[in-house]
Every structure is written in C-alpha cells, then in structure tokens.
Amino acid sequence: MHYVQGFVAAVPAANRDAFARHAAEAAPLFREFGAARVVECWGDDVPDGKVTDFRGAVKAGDGEVVVFSWIEYPTKAVRDAAHARMMADPRMEALGATMPFDGKRAILGGFSVILDEAREGPRGYADGFLVPVPVANRDAYRAMAARVAAVFQEHGAVRVVEAWADDVPDGTVTDFRRAVKAQDGEAVVFSWTEWPSKQARDEGWKKFMEDPRMKPGMGTKPYDGQRMIYGGFAQLIDA
C-alpha cells in the first residue's frame, strides 16, 4: 500500500491566505517530485482535550489555527527520493524561507498506510486523528478500524485512511510522539476521514453516534482513547 507524509502546524489566522498561496505554490513541486496527492486542511472544528489535543500538539498560541495536511506517495522509496530532490532544489529552499508560520512547532513524519477504504464522491472536509497504539495491538487496531470505516462510509464518508508510524523523528520543540504522549512500546497512527462537505460530516457523525454498532461497550478499544486527538478541517488545497 502507499505511503503518507503527515504534517500538523500552527498558522496565524491572519496568514490564512498567505498559507493557501504558499501551499498552492509548493503542491506542483511535490507532484513533480513524485507525490500522488497533496492535501492541506484548515482547522475548523478543533476541540480542546482534557489530556491532549491538536492545539497542544503544535503549541498553538492565541490567534493561531491548526493545519492538518498530508502528502500521498506510491511507496516509501518514492517519498525518500522526493525528499532528497527537495533538499537540493532551490525552489524548495525559497519556499522554506517564506513559510507563513513557525516551522519549529510544525510536526511531520512518514507513515505506512494500513487501511484505505474509499468510494467515489467529492471531498471537501476531513476529520483528522492522531492515535497512540501499542505496537502489539497493530492487527487488532486495523481490524477495529476496518469495522469503523465501513460504518462511516454507510453514513456518508468518502474515504477512511489509517497510517502507521514508520519514519517519525523526534522534534526539538514538539513531535508526533509528544503530541499524543506516546509511551514506550507505542506507535503513532495518522488517520483521516474525508467527507463531501462539513454538512455531510456533521450529519454523518450524528448517524454514526446513533448507530447501535458504535454504542459504548461494543468492544474494547486497542488504544488509550483519552490520548487520541481529533478535529474537523476544511480542505484548502487538494492537488
């Protein structure tokens, strides 16, 4: 299955248009280097959490919005080759020098896709998730995710993707592991569910929560739900 480069950052709300322009300029270069798809999403419904949340993951300050983004590659080898080309390309260097956000607080990493359930339909809104999962529970997590994905799609979701940490470096200020307070023996899952629109997402979630298959007690979660972080994001760029 394909490979994903996941990215979460804090962007000043006042820089939304600048961020969209910056992302639109970068996307064709990623495609030139081998990416199959580039998606940038702007925080829209990102709740505060009790233990951790998206804002805490990137230490977002007042007036900042969380961005949830991903780049899809056919394989890890293509991602690695693309990264090498980026490092040597002056166009990427110029873009890096003009980022409209604090790159030191951005978190990024490479993830192997373990589940990708998709159907035809427009995509305009995404729910993003970061989940700490015990490595020993990988198969149990995938099986649970497959069951949940089927229910989401019955209620309007267009695509559900689950990607397992593969190349997730430690950061100086923050990183994916710190985002979910990952413990020894745990891996981080980068996941998203795509919907045609926010309205379809809101209606789909209502039906999902009322679905008897999703009622509390219908199975033990193979991860600590208190450290899972999630939010709703409006797509800015889909290249």
- The contacts of residue 202 (CB under 8 Å, 6+ apart) are none
Inter-residue contact 193 to 157 (CB < 8 Å):
yes
| Whole-number Cα distances in Å, 50 to 23, 105, 141, 226, 227 | 32, 21, 23, 8, 9
- Supply the DSSP symbol for 36: S
> Domain containing 119: what range?
3-238
Q: Is 156 left (phi over 0), alpha (psi -120 to 50) or beta?
A: left
The domain total for the chain is: 1
| Phi, psi at 47, each rounded to 5° | -75, 155
- Which pLDDT score, from 0 to 100, does residue 220 have? 78
What's the burial of 79, exposed, middle or buried (CB within 10 Å: 0-12/13-18/19+)? buried
The enclosing H or E element of 41 equals strand 37-45
pLDDT computed for residue 215 by the predictor: 77
Residue 80 predicted with pLDDT over 80:
yes
Banded model confidence at residue 219, pLDDT cuts 50, 70, 90: low
> What is the chain's Cα-based Rg?
17
3-state SS assignment for residue 15: helix
Indicate which CATH number applies to the domain containing 48. Answer: 3.30.70.100
DSSP label at residue 209: H
Band of residue 163 on the pLDDT scale cut at 50, 70, 90: very high
pLDDT in tens, 17-68: 999 999 999 999 999 999 999 999 999 999 999 999 999 999 999 999 999 9
Taking the model in full, what pTM does it have? 0.96
Q: What's residue 217's pLDDT?
A: 57
